[in-house]
Structure formats: C-alpha cells, structure tokens
Chain A
Amino acid sequence: MATDPPPVPPDLARNLRPAYRWCLRAYPRSYLREHGDDLIWLITDLHAGERRVSVRECMSIVRSGMVRRVKLTGRYVFPMLLFVEALFVPLVLGSVIKGALGQRPFLTFTSLGFVRDQMHFETAWFVVFAAALLVVASVLGWAGVRAVRDAPPSRRGRRRLPSVDDAGVLVQPLALVALGATTVGTSDASDAASAVVIAVGCVLALLILRYWMNNGGLSRARLTAAVASAVILAGLVGLSAEISASSPGQTDFTSQEAVATGRLFPSAVSCPSPTRCFAFGSVNAVVLGRNSIGALAVAESSGDNWHLAPARVDAGGLFSALVCPTSLECFLTGVGGGPWAGRIARTTNGGASWDYVQDSGAVIDSLACPSAVECVVVGAEDVSVTHDAGTSWATTLRLSRYALPSEALSCPSTSDCYFVTLGPVSPEQPQSGLSFSVYSTTDGGRSWHGHTLLDNSPGGISNVVCRTALQCLVTAGGTWWATVNGGDTWTEHAPPVGLPTGVTASCSYAMACWALVGAPASSMVSSRDGGGRWQRVGTFPPGFRGFESACVNELDCTVIGGTYPHGILEAQIVTTTDGGRSWALTPFPELPSRWLPRPVSIG
C-alpha cells in the first residue's frame, strides 16, 4: 500500500524548507546523513500549501531530535558515569562509615588540599558537586521515566506498581532534600548522616523488593538505572556527611599551618616521666565567634599508646605552654594571646577534668611550673607566681611595657627560675635599641634580680639552658652568657660546640639536653654534658616536622609535629627511647566529632 501526497507547489516548499532544516539540526548529524532527506520531504509534503513555518512542527522535530541525541550519547556516557562512580563510591561510603564511627573520614574537602581558603573552598565545591549530581540525577531520572513510559507492552498488566526506575526518579529529589536538611540542620553531623543512610537504604531496599515481586526480571537498563541511583544516593549522603563533618568556619587564623579548619594542630608537649607524656593540640574551628577546641592526648609507656583525655579543655591555642610536673597534674595556657588569652587551665587527674585557675585576659608569654603547686607566669607586662596551684597569684615583677615577648623561661628547681627579655634600654626611649636582660630568682619568684647583659642586642631567638639549678647558659642573638651562682653574676661564654644558632634548647636532669633544629624541625641535636657539646641525633621519620619537644633524659624524647601529605598538616607524634637513633611515629589521637562545632549552614 502506498498512497502518495499531492504535488507540492515548488516555490512554497522551497521557501519554508530552510526554516525546517534549521529545526532539523536538533538531530545528530549521523542521523540526518541517513534519513535527513526523507524527513525533509515528509515535512515539505505535510505542510504543503502553508505560508508560514509551523512552530508546533518545529518543536516536535527538535524534541525528537534531542531524544535521538541523548540515546546516541547515552551509550557512551552511562558506562563512563558508572566507572567514575565505582571509583568514587568506596571512598564516599568509607568516609560515611568512618565519620559515623567518629573517626576522620578518608575523603574530606580539606584533603583535596589545593585551595587553602577553607571557607570559600568548601562552599565552591559544595556547589559544584551538588550541581553535577543534580544534573546526573535529572538525566538518570528522565531516562528512567522514558524507560517506563516507552516499555513495550509485552505483558497484560493494567496496573503498575513502582519499579526501580520510578524509585530512581522519586528518591533522587528526596535525597537532595535530605542533603539540604543535613547540611542546614543543627543536629549532630554524624548522627544525621547515619540516619539518612539508614532511611534511604530502607526505601531503596523496599522498592527493589517490590520490583522483584511485581516484575519477572531485571533488564540491564533497569539494573543500570538502579545501581546508578543507589550510587548517586550514596554520593549525596556521603557529601552531606562530609560537609557537616568538615564544618567550615569563619576564622581569623594566626598560623599558616592551621588554616585547614578542623585540623588538629599540636602545640605543646610535656613529659613528667619517661613513661608518661601529655601532648596538647587544638582544633582551630572558630565558628561564628566561638573559640577553638583543645584536646589533651595522654600517652603512657613512652608514647606507644596515645589516647585522648576524656575531657576537652577550652584553653591554649595554636601556641601553648603545657607543663605537667607530675603524671596527673598539668597546667595549660595559650601563649601570645589567642582566643583564651590569660587563661590557665589545671587538671589534677591527667586530663579527666579541668578547672581554670587564672583568667585575667592578659597576654601570657611563658609558663613554668617546677612543682604541682608552684608556677611562674611571664606575661607581657609583669611576672606573677603562685604557690598554691593557682588559687592565689602574686605579681612580683613589673616589666617594661616595651619589652618583646619572651618565651625563654626555665625553672630548674622549685626555688630557681631564669628568664630573659629583649627590651628597650629605657622605657623613655623605646627606639634606642634592644637590651638583653636576664632575670633570676632563688626564692621561688618572690624576688627577682635583673641583669642587663647587652645593650643594642641584635635580637633573635633567646634561650635559657640550665644544667643545674645554679648553672645556666642564656643566649639572645647569638651571644652566650653563663652563671654558676644562680644569676648573681654572669660572664660571657663561648657558644656551645655543635649547636646551630637560633635553636631553642632545653635540659633535663643528668645534663641531658635536646634541641630541635629548624622551625618546624626536621632533626634534633642533643648534648649529654649540660649543653657544652652537641651532636646530631638520628633523623625523624620521612616527612615529619617537629614543633615542640619534651625530653626526659638522654634516651627518652617525645616530639610533636606532623606530616604534610597533601600540603595539609596531619598531626603526628614521634618518640625515641634510644637517644634519637630511631623514632617511632604515632598519629595524634583523633578528636571525637561531638567535640567539634556544629555544622554551619552553607545553603
């Protein structure tokens, strides 16, 4: 059977043809090469005698052309998508599980690490990821709808129960809503994420079950759609968990190292005995004016087993002083200002609980506690001491307000303390150059003796190294001075042999001294004769850089610092028990997510 159309007035056909050809561009070129002529003739015949281009016709051509295009490209796009998702999904799922267990996920936005501005970084990536996932979800959903609609009528069913395809279509918007809810929500991040995982899992399982019950089989296309939907859901949930777990914040960072929000930054370590160490790190997660969070990791048996003390401490900061005179008692303060300037925290139970024994708000430069009840605090303008574990404080020395902050404070015994300052020669002439002064006490800080050792000092790193309570070396700007009588007299001293300039050294009993070389340090030097002769010890594990050290004797030393696997700090602790010949690397304990601030809405 072949009816033929009436002849077309050639002029009309010719006039309208370019317009329809333009509509036909929606079709893939390969299709037009084969069937374009046929189609254009059909259009011409169909609209013969019309004077205007039919918009309806053009729209319908464009639509079916687009369908052709999608079908053509879908053949390549879908497997590619699945491949990428197959790579992505273990990471995301693993992260979700780890996050739910309160551990640091594999995949965080910070671990991508090539943009340092955390806030913008995360927002930007959230938008990119969400947009990409939305597009993928829409395409899959649309394909699912088509698959359902165009399914060949091979069975005589009148009513149709939801299939996996519908599930994909329905669940994807739900997942997006869930994502939004999780991100914006104020509930605990990992709880919300795991709740969403469970809920979505249940819905999917139910739908798949219904599908199997209602339809005899599972075609490849439907399986693909189902897997892709599940993968996308997992990705969305993972993404939301990631975003809530990594908690972007608005911060005013004081250290480049800590720019990565939510990263633990180790800042102080103290070892009261060879088998017990305390390390302090803080997470700089200042969210909308809230402060950073401290953590005290406790180690026993020489750093083999580090664990987090049960209570979080709201003191300290990126630069902290931690002093633990006994294996249960510690004092902690932030150095050089920060969110808790002037606050001194004290524990008497190894970090199980903290109380705040000083909260003056004045900047503290250094803290030393030779016993569990005696502490000396050198602040920017004065020196105060306590003899009752912080219950009462007495200011025993006022400093020139132009003095530079000094962290060089050493208390080799409960009665003897030394610290150095670099300050103007006279308070009236602050520009007259730096004078290098040493202050010492022999009565536990009640009275101080000041000696100006050098006028017009070039400045530089200052240090106090005491081999005994009465024998000390002090340095500033490369010049060394020594006392043998507790600070009554000082004489210029030759620089120690083998000690690089500009390093901060400290000594423990038995004349064992250690010093980190470089800031952050890649190696250490040690001395066994009270700081006279120094030699290099074994190197740190590859990639490790040390910030602070606590060395108990000539064999045992603990260094906190970290590695930078992707340019972002991973807090680590290294320990040696053989004088630095070998070092063992341990990760700094993870902070529980409940200690971290709540997620911030970025929607």
Chain B
Amino acid sequence: MAKMRDPTYYTLAVLLEGRAHGWAILDRVRDLTSGRVGLTAGTLYGTLDRLIDEELIRRAGTEVVRGRARQYFEITKKGSGAVQLEADARAEDAAVVHGVAKRRDGARRAGNRPVPRISYGSPALSG
C-alpha cells in the first residue's frame, strides 16, 4: 500500500474541516504546515482531480464570490476514512522513533518525567 503523499494528505486534512474552494485549500495547507508544503495551482488541481477519480472527495457546487466563480470541494466518507487511517499510520511511524527516544532518555536520566502526549497533523484536526 502506497503511503499517502503530503499534498494529498494535507488537502484531505483541510477538507476534513469543511468544504473549501481551491484558493482556500492552498492557503490553509500553507498555514497548517507553516509553509513547508507549498502547493502550486497545478499540483493542487492534479491532486483534486485524482482524489475525485478515487472518490475521496467530490465537487460541492460553485459559488460566486466577489465576481469570481469558485468551485467548492468536500470530502467523502471514503476520503475521511482514508485520511484518518493515514494519520494513524503516520502516528505509528512517529511512535517508533519517540518510543526509542523515550527509552534512551529514561535510561539516561533514570527519572520519571511524563512523556508528552504526541499529536500529529494540525491542531485543527485534533480539535
């Protein structure tokens, strides 16, 4: 099973918050990743089209905002399931490293400092 790539993952993550149009998705992805994942219009539309083909998202009407026709997209049930699975997988991946780090730190300090709860993805997702 292929790991979901970042543009896909974050696009789905944004749409999990609610339906959005292209520019909004771009803006939000940049926000969520602190600019690490910078999508171009081309990659975004490539991703969106593919996700529509795979029925992870669907088109959700057009609205005219400030004289511009804006296409909205929303996540499907299948899509939200997929992105949550992916989030779990990423958490598992991270947990491997965190677990090692915890054991090592624990051995060194012999202390019982609580391990911080690890959250993945954006704060918006957990909330």
Contact = CB atoms under 8 A, between A and B. Distances in A.
Interface of A: 1-5, 7, 23, 35, 37-39, 41-43, 45-46, 54, 56-65, 67-68, 71, 148-158, 160
B23 A42 contact: yes
B70 A41 contact: yes
Nearest to A34: B71
Contact of A64 (B18, B28, B49, B85): B49
Given A35-B71, A64-B49, 11 more contacts: A4-B24, A38-B69, A41-B69, A42-B41, A42-B45, A63-B42, A148-B2, A150-B54, A153-B86, A153-B89, A156-B85
Nearest to B68: A41
A143 to B, nearest CB: 13
A149 B40 CA distance: 20
A153 B89 CA distance: 10
B1 A157 contact: yes
B71 to A, nearest CB: 4
A59 B71 CA distance: 22
29 contacts: A1-B17, A2-B20, A3-B27, A7-B66, A38-B69, A38-B71, A39-B41, A41-B23, A41-B68, A42-B41, A42-B45, A45-B23, A46-B23, A46-B40, A59-B42, A60-B40, A60-B41, A62-B42, A64-B45, A65-B42, A67-B50, A68-B49, A150-B2, A152-B78, A153-B1, A153-B86, A155-B1, A156-B1, A157-B1
Contacts of A39: 22, 41, 45
Contacts of B82: 152-154
B109 interface: no
B26 interface: yes
A160 B3 CA distance: 10
A158 to B, nearest CB: 7
B61 to A, nearest CB: 12
B4 interface: yes
Top 3 closest A-B pairs, CB basis? A60-B42, A64-B46, A61-B42
A151 B41 contact: no
A156 B90 CA distance: 11
B4 A153 contact: yes
B33 interface: no
A158 B42 CA distance: 29
Nearest to A3: B24
Contact of B26 (A46, A60, A67, A152): A46
B43 to A, nearest CB: 5
Contacts of A68: 49
